[in-house]
Chains A and B, each alone.
Chain A
């Protein structure tokens, strides 16, 4: 069971305060109508499901109700950090994790 430091409350909190939000940074297509069914289906359903370091969203359900991102290892449960969406995005891009 994890301890996550909410980047907004800036405190260590127990996992039970949070809800898991799935893979981070899945951007909604800007013009869905221009996508074919396969591409739309990919956005809707296909997931990286990474084994290893995983960028994922968590929401601070009982606290500030903010969504933020966490970098967590899905095989060891090691947790590298938690960031606001904006800050996390910078690191995510720097890592090329989106590629």
Chain B
């Protein structure tokens, strides 16, 4: 037993509140405030994972978001979460976690055998082999199953997520010393401030450094006082467990809040989301994101029990866990000394191998006082131990070259911590195009405090390379002073408030890869990126193979592509690459990061856009009636339209057959409310319509309606509908259901941008009108029962007329138009009465067995008449002439209407374009597949030239046979009634392997003269 608990007062765990949990099937105890990692380490746990490529034993390395190895699967079943970092999992009672690597077991891992051949599996090895086309799929199967960490749940997520939008004057990201200072100063100045911190409590590194003193207060007291004051300010909002994972243009920050993850599933509150996406738009963003310690790179540096020095300090001071009793620390800087002293004071034997020949004298004094042994000028050549570190071989380093100068002692130890210096957490700074710069004195890519102030981005503390507490606070104070001054405000503090007990810093040694006296690749593997098994030798290999751009190096070796986003590996990788390339680090390039800073669930990103609220469903005023009558619905655009109304035991075809015959023989009724309706008014309305429609509107008289075709500028049909002339300067246009919004903004755009001089206004009245289409020979008989103030007689109310009147006691506008070819009335009323009028019509029609029908029957009825559906019979490549609808084009109109000019282009003017025709199969029972391709002969051996395709196809109950519409090259000229010779009217319709012989005919299958609608 080498690890042990140290129950000191400053620990952030509550030793009075024991919790138990399970890892990999074994039960453990921990305390409230522990993370899964700290609790496991307290049990001396070393190996928690196997490495991605070689299956090497791996342990916990860090204490937070930087952790590369300890990826665990938490909970099971629908609640399971893959790939959480044990260092970020807050312990709760009954927590169940397991490893995500190591097969069949952690102890006995198959991959580790492959690992023995690591030298044959260097970076990019799979690009160089598995080239057999036959064998690759088998290799790939193996690779896929060897890769991957946790498992996705297989059941739908029982928890929910949501979004919240915020707007603030100042957003401070990071609740460490500088972040707290920034929030206090801006808060005191009366600004709207949001402070977010990713951890369960603010404090940042101070939580790991309780012996620090700020302005005469110990760190814990200083934090407590800051928080108390922040909470007392109404203009400051403090959010914990909230990780800012992306910074976007104009200071929009996305942050993910963990609302319930730290609670046992049994204690989670239903109705409260599991996680929440905060979208924060701030005038000024203050990045107080701190820095992350990077380890030094040395042989076997991935053996479990080798952590970053700062992690060792954190586990001791914050969680009360000494990770070992014989501690070896290796450093290039001052950072490890406080921890070294604390560990020694806690009873550990501590040796510091300081790669510098001269340590910081003040720290050396304090260390000596705590009984810490310091070996100056030494580094670790190689660590020993299999699944737990047992010792390390030191070498004497050259004073100024990173080379071995001589032999060194062997140090037996049960834990190693190393520090190569700090790397500023510049991830967010990079997201919106910011570029950190390399500072050779600080050995870090740093963000500048006010360099991006113009964009409203300020950086404070360690993220700017001011790593010491004293220097960081001073820099933060200066920067916030600038920020406040730019707003005409003044800071409340005086600099003395941030004086600390920190010794003046001594310069660090510039070292990343600790030499072992061997050529790179000859000694023990020295890992740079643990999660992707990238060793220093892999980087050298990449360079050797001319992958010299840092992006190539990263991609070829996978450096920094893990879920830790290269937090530990990036700078070491750069430095080693620079070495290999013989360049300086800035010459290699600047490090940059993409969102997410730390992984965020898809659920959080989606928020409430899920299930019922994924996408709007629009309903008409009659929807209740349809649902009550058992309608099946079809989504059309955002609308839910009745598709058909099955009676008991009826399928689609049965219902449609019945509905069609009702419309043709008696009376049927359809909800047409979803059609777009646009009220257009103004003295120039006819001129306007003449420009946006192909038709001529000059002579349409009040009281009359006309069908119109709307074209895009490319000359292709984009929408259609009936437009009524109310008065000379007032028209009402109808559009397709799916096209309504598009047409409305199309018309507005043309009016606003091209023809503002036209006196016309448009208003959408789609939602105002509810529309019932009463269709069939008996429709007049039905309507007359409910409408006494319109003369409905054929003579008085002609086809394509409209009238105002009253239906079922409700003011109504009735159109005598027909999309079925039958006598038909479309009754429009204030939608508030839509349901009432629908029910009244059903009641009045009962004696004629009035039959409600849906979109499917509507399609059959209109196809029998050869009426097109835009979007089904057209696909954006059909002109009015292709549709044989020249009658709807007013070529003589003075204004060159939208799309007209395009007609005369060579390809558009071609005679043999695809044209809309009707098709009749030889076998009347065969209903062609919509989407069947038209070919010349029955030969279907590819490649077969295609003439067009079937756009609409149904069985027509009226005709007792199948009918179809299709677009066919030169089709109009090939129609049977055109008297074509030698069977040019015969083609084949191919679908799913079979070709049916069909005749090309007119697309009007019944009542070509259109007499029925005129009765």
Contacts and interface: CB of A to CB of B under 8 A. Distances in A.
Judged by CB atoms under 8 Å, the answer to whether A and B touch is yes
A1 B905 contact: no
Given A1-B248, A14-B281, A31 B896 contact: yes
A65 B748 contact: yes
A28 interface: yes
B753 A32 contact: no
Contact of A57 (B281, B753, B905): B753
A20 interface: no
A81 interface: no
A57 B281 CA distance: 24
Interface in A6-37: 14, 19, 21, 27-29, 31-33, 35, 37
Contacts of A19: 745
Contacts of A76: 433
B373 interface: no
Interface residues on A, range: 20 to 34
Contact of B896 (A2, A21, A32, A77): A32
Contact of A85 (B752, B896, B904): B752
Interface in B735-773: 745, 748-749, 752-754
B901 A40 contact: yes
Contacts of A27: 754
Contacts of A97: none
A56 to B, nearest CB: 12
Contacts of A67: 748-749, 752-753
Contacts of A91: none
Most buried by A among B252, B748, B752: B752
A31 B221 CA distance: 79
B281 A37 contact: no
A65 to B, nearest CB: 6
Nearest to A26: B753
B901 A33 contact: yes
A46 B332 CA distance: 60
B434 to A, nearest CB: 12
Closest 10 CB pairs of A and B: A32-B901, A32-B896, A77-B249, A67-B752, A1-B252, A37-B905, A1-B248, A3-B250, A28-B754, A40-B901
Nearest to A84: B752
Contacts of A28: 754
Nearest to A41: B905
A44 B754 contact: no
A66 B756 CA distance: 12
Contact of B753 (A2, A61, A85): A85
Interface of B: 248-250, 252, 281, 433, 713-714, 745, 748-749, 752-754, 896, 900-902, 904-906
Interface of A: 1-3, 14, 19, 21, 27-29, 31-33, 35, 37, 40-41, 44, 57, 59, 61, 65-67, 76-77, 79, 85
Contact of B713 (A1, A33, A44, A65): A44
Contacts of A59: 745, 749
A27 B252 CA distance: 35
A40 B748 contact: no
A75 to B, nearest CB: 9
A62 to B, nearest CB: 12
Given A40-B902, A44-B714, A85-B753, A65 B249 contact: no
A4 to B, nearest CB: 10
A37 B906 contact: yes
A2 B752 contact: no
A51 to B, nearest CB: 15
Contacts of B902: 40, 44
Given A37-B904, A77-B249, 5 more contacts: A3-B281, A21-B749, A32-B901, A44-B714, A59-B745
A14 B745 CA distance: 20
A99 B433 CA distance: 31
Contacts of A79: 250
B750 to A, nearest CB: 9
Nearest to B762: A65
A2 B250 contact: yes
Contacts of B748: 65, 67
B538 to A, nearest CB: 35
Nearest to B250: A3
A2 B248 CA distance: 9
A73 B714 CA distance: 30
A79 B748 CA distance: 25
Nearest to B901: A32
A2 B249 contact: yes
